[in-house]
Amino acid sequence: MFKIINIYFRSRWERFYLKNRWHLILDLSLITILIILGISAVSLYYYRPTLNWSWSETANLSIDFNNPPLKLELQVATSSLQMAEGIILKINYQNDSPTIINQAVIKLMTSDQNYLIGRLEKIGINPEIEIKDQEIIFSALKGGISGEALVRVYFTANNPLERQISWRAKSAYSLGGQLFTETWDLPVLKIFSELSVKVAAYYTSPQGDQLGVGPLPPVLGLPTNYWIFVEAKNQGDFKDFVFSARLPKGVELMSNRSLLAGDFKYATSSRQVIWKIGEIKNQETNYRLSFEIQLTPTKEQLGLTPNLLITPLYYAQDLITDTELSGELNNLTTNLDSDRFNKGQGRVSE
């Protein structure tokens, strides 16, 4: 093979190259071009790019920028919020274009630093959406598709004294090389105020001071005095707070009491104690009542743990949401469940 090439080259050298060097230059140029073409052909054979047909579709798509192809509608069923439960955001979507819209994003944010968007949870099965941090992502919306997505939104409080949340949403997606954005001011959320009421009976205070008088455990026919403590704690503002309870037969209200806020009354006919407060301000801590009672056990109560306070309940009006909050508490007995020093010392003996 090499011998044949050598003979052919010497023949051309003697006939052409010695007489005119331009023949050599021309042949070398042609050989170089053939090598380059060969390499290019091999490269093109192994390089098979994927054509972006969606780009070709959107390139020829006529888009009215004043009428975005993706219609989004955001709604909440109520403007009142329980912090622990979050709120449900409903998203109605419709792709009016004939092509796929990829990676349409709705980002949720608050308008100030009092509250922040906490976490998002997708409700139900909806393959069109994904959740990432504070973003709702529509990965691929086919042309002409429409539907509804539900997302539960939780918030984080930086300033619990503020009882309203201002928040908004912003959407963004690209189609035909054009970026589309839209912003919504979502309804202001009013946070339900929180109110907890505790009632407890003591013979000895949590600090170890003796409050009660008389035998403990109680003894048949002998009086034993106890103290009842009621405390209201709140987040948010309330009005018209009322706590009421009844003294069972054999229990009498004594004259000693301590009242830090509101009015205290006792109706002898119904044996009902009533504590009223006209206004409870956000996170104040002086809403406490205590009063002394006296139990004289009867024969029917021998071997039992008599009640000291029955049917305790409360209600108040939430000023933020204008709703009523109420609750019913457990009866108090001589078992003194909250008295760490005398718990369980409630059975009447002879």
Q: What is the mean pLDDT of residues 320-328?
A: 92
Instruction: Say what the pLDDT of residue 282 is.
Output: 86
Beta bridge mates, 257: 291
Residue 251 has pLDDT above 50, yes or no: yes
pLDDT > 70 fraction of the chain, expressed in percent and rounded: 86
Confidence band of 54 (pLDDT split at 50, 70, 90): very low
- Spell out the long-range contacts of 78-83 with Cβ–Cβ below 8 A and sequence spacing 24 or more: 79/187, 79/188, 79/189, 79/190, 80/189, 80/190, 80/191, 80/192, 80/321, 80/323, 81/155, 81/165, 81/189, 81/190, 81/191, 81/192, 82/191, 82/192, 83/155, 83/157, 83/191, 83/192
Q: What is the mean pLDDT of residues 269-277?
A: 96
Q: DSSP label at 17?
A: I
Helix H or strand E segment including 125: none
Question: What's this model's pTM, rounded to 2 decimal places?
Answer: 0.70
- Return the higher-pLDDT residue of 51 and 267: 267
Residue 138 has pLDDT above 80, yes or no: yes
Instruction: Say what the pLDDT of residue 24 is.
Output: 65
Instruction: Say what the pLDDT of residue 8 is.
Output: 60
pLDDT digit string (tens) for 106-136? 999 999 999 999 999 999 888 889 999 999 9
Confidence band of 13 (pLDDT split at 50, 70, 90): low
